[in-house]
Amino acid sequence: MSDLPTEYDDQEHDDFGRDEGPGIEFLVEDVDFELADAQDLTSWIERVAEVHEHEIVQLTYIFCSDEYLHKVNLEYLEHDTYTDVITFDNADDADIIEGDIFISVERVRENAQIHGVTFRDELHRVMIHGVLHLLGYADKDLLSQTAMRKKEDDCLLLRTF
């Protein structure tokens, strides 16, 4: 986890998914949050990787607060904005997934309300959004954002739970 923020490396964290699947971890930092269906999520994420012909070597999700993610955004990306997800790609090989995905639980809740969707669906969309970045998809302009949204929808259809 070489690109993880230093404060993440040094802090204690709650681990509730270390044994859920090969190379996938679900961690919680500074927020009261419990992930439902960790095993199902692991299977789904692995299925998405397989469909894209990638192997998951190490994928860590860190669920946190708005302030925690804002600090990561400022410190490591020099962006003074709040966001729902930040992805760090640690892979040396284009065919593998190795990275860290930070997700603001507060921002996901707010966005779910704004977009009129369930928290669960918005959380899954954000989780797979991070994976899509690790698969090489971008969302810097309107055209790539539209393509990313379509890929998110396609991946959400792969859920079986």
Cβ density class 31-43: b for 16+ within 10 Å, e for less:
bebebeebeebbb
CA distance 27 to 15: 5
Q: How far is CA 122 from CA 85, 112, 119, in A?
A: 12, 6, 5
70 marked among binding-site residues? no
Question: Has 133 been labeled as part of a binding site?
Answer: yes
Q: Is 139 labelled as part of a ligand binding site?
A: yes
Give dist(CA 107, CA 123) in Å, integer. 10
Spatial CB neighbours of 96, under 8 Å, sequence gap ≥ 6: 54, 55, 56, 57
**Residues annotated as binding site for Zn(2+)?**
129, 133, 139
**Residues annotated as binding site?**
129, 133, 139
